[in-house]
Each structure stands twice: as structure tokens, then as C-alpha cells.
Amino acid sequence: MALWKCVRCLVFLLFLWTFQRGDAEVCILKQSCILKCNFNPGDDVVIHWIMVAGNIPVHSYYHNQDQLTRQDQRFMSRTSLLKDQISKGNASLKLTTVEVQDGGRYKCYTSTITGNKETFIDLNVEAPVAEVDIQKVENRITCSSEGIYPKPELTWSTSPPSSVTFKNTTTVQETEQQLYNISGSLMVSDSGTDVAYSCTVSSGEHRRTATLFKQLNKTSTTETTIDCPSSKAPLTVLIWRFNHSQIIVTQTGANVPYKVSEEWRQQVKAVSESGNLALTGLTPDQQGAYTCEFSNEEETNVGSTFLRIEESKGSDINVGIVIVAIGIIAAAAGVAGFFYWKKRKHNSKQTGGNISDNKTGSKARDDEGSEMLM
């Protein structure tokens, strides 16, 4: 007999739990959300939305209008009903600017002349992983993400897969807004192998991966094109940086024109559809690390290239040719001047001799004439 009573008790509790379990609704932090509730239409409609934990009044409606005098302050100006749907039996509640504290169980109580009804909804608040930052300083790779809910996890992987055991440290901090920040670091050996390191941050059903490709070294003159590690998925954000901080180019969509920062307008020649950066007019001041961050809804790929600027050898050759040509012209001019001077001197001597001979002949003729007169 006692056993039968226990069975009946368990069946009743199971039925009660199933009846009050309610539907689950996932709401994204800081966005709007609809908590659904339906009832049989009728006259004299009464609607009460209540947060079960603490029996907190959320929204009330009767006498054909909202009744918010008892509404809890935390929900003020953030709740509304679909007024044109109430007569059709729709008592759904719209909640705006969702907060972490809004998570929990809600009861929708409806009443008409035809009867009463209670509906339970479990509101789950999520702040998805929006961005994962990954970078390498010397032999340490760091990965971090902020503003996440519920509590996230961080994992590492490599491509191609590696048998190396990761020695990483991960820390999770809770903010005053009850959100979570997570960060992790990984020590790697600079073995020179072509390995890409990936960091995945997961929270609930949401996850995002950031991949750091091996840094490349490149030597160029005044013009070059630097490749960006892209993905098959459509581009969401493209950012090119110089020395990890100075922004060169930004692009916020596949069909959105890219924007070049003021400091780099003279150097940026073009950006390809795959994110490759074409540069021109480079000087030794532009020698350094060029980092490409290519993101879409699922992942972020980061590639870094250290660009070494060399002076153009062609320019040196041209300068040498000009100098040699100037030397040859100067030497030729000197030789020509020397011969001109020598010739002029020779002509001067010949002219002087002729004049003396003329004077001597003239004097002889004068003497001969004088003798004939005598």
C-alpha cells in the first residue's frame, strides 16, 4: 500500500514538473526578445506577467489598457504587449535591451470570462562570443575574448595536427555586469615548422575560432603585394595593421568599399577580393610587421608578414651611369679646350712672323727708292 502511494506521488510530481516546465526562450544580450504566450480569446481580458523568482511584477494589462503602477523598476520602459494581437488571444511580451539579470522563469497569467490560464517560459540570456583576439609576442601566443555569457571555455589546436602537449594557462574573470572575460596563453618553440595555431572560445551553443598563421619574412623595394590568410566563408571584417597598432585599411563587408587611413593613402595601391594588400612608393620608414585580420561570422584568421625595404638597385645603376656620363663629357670638354688653346697659340705665332717680314721688305724698298733719287 505504501509503495503504491509513493508511485502515485512520483507520478503527480512528474506531471506537475512537466506542466510547469514551460518553453525555453533564448534572448541575446542588449537586444529585444519576445516571450510567447497564447490564450483562448474572450471578453474582460486580464494579463499578468510575473518573474517567478521573487514574484516580481513585470507587466499587467486589464480594463483594455496597461496597468503599470506596480511594475518593478528594473522593467520600466522595457516591456510592451502586442496590442493588436490581444483580441486574437496573443499575450506575448516584448522585452527590450535584455540584461543578464533578466534570465529566469516567467509566468504569463491570462483570464477572460471563459476561464484562466497559466503559461511558464524559461528565459535564457546569452552574450555570444563576438570577437577573439590572437597575437604572438616572441614565443608566447595569447588569446582573449570579452563580454561573454554564460561562462566560456578556451581550447587550443594546430593545423596540421600536432602531437605536442600544450602548456597553456587560462583565466576567467566575471565583470560587474555579470559577463565573463577569458584569456589564455601558450608557449611555443620557434622550430620553424609551418604550423598554424588556433584558439576556440565556446559559450553555450556559440563558439568562435581565431587562427594565427606563421609569420612570413619578405624583402621588397618600393612596390609589393602582401598576402592575407583568407577563408572560404564570406568576409565580414578586414583590417590591415602596421606594427600591430597603426591601421592601414579597414573593410566591413564583401560588397563594401575598403577605407584607407590618411597616413597610408599614398602607399596603398589596391586591396584584392581575397584581402591581399598592394603597396607602392614604400620607403625605409615603412619597414616592419604588416598584419592582416580577416573575419567572418565563424572565425578570425590572422597573418603577419615582416617586410624589409631595400633600395632599388636599378636606381643605383642609373645614378652611376649619369655620373660616368658627366665625367666623360667633362673630360671631352677639357681635351677639346686644350687643343683649341694650342691651335690658337700656333696661329698667333704664324701671324707675328708674317708681320715682321712685311716690315723688312717695306724698309728695303724705301732705301732703294732713296738711292735712285740721289
CATH of segment(s) 128-211: 2.60.40.10
Answer CATH for 16-126 from 3.30.230.10, 3.20.10.10, 2.60.40.10, 3.40.50.2000: 2.60.40.10
Domain boundaries, given as residue ranges, for the chain: 16-126, 128-211, 215-328
d(CA 355, CA 362) in angstroms, rounded, equals 11
pLDDT of 60-88, one tens digit each?
999 999 999 999 999 999 999 999 999 99
Same fold, 128-211 and 215-328: yes
Fold of 215-328: Immunoglobulin-like (2.60.40)
Please state, in angstroms and rounded to a whole number, the distance separating the CA atoms of residues 202 and 255: 29
pLDDT tens digits along 271-328: 998 899 999 999 999 999 999 999 988 899 999 999 998 875 554 445 455 565 566 7
> pLDDT 10s per residue in the chain (374 long)?
455 454 454 434 444 443 445 589 999 999 999 999 999 999 999 999 999 999 999 999 999 999 999 999 999 999 999 999 999 999 999 999 999 999 999 999 999 999 999 999 999 999 999 999 998 888 889 999 999 999 999 999 998 887 766 677 899 999 999 999 999 998 887 655 678 999 999 998 899 999 999 888 899 888 999 999 876 777 789 999 999 889 999 999 878 899 999 999 999 999 998 899 999 999 999 999 999 999 988 899 999 999 998 875 554 445 455 565 566 776 666 656 656 656 666 565 555 544 444 444 444 444 444 443 33
| pTM, to two decimals | 0.70
- CA 191-193-198 angle, to 5 degrees, is 105
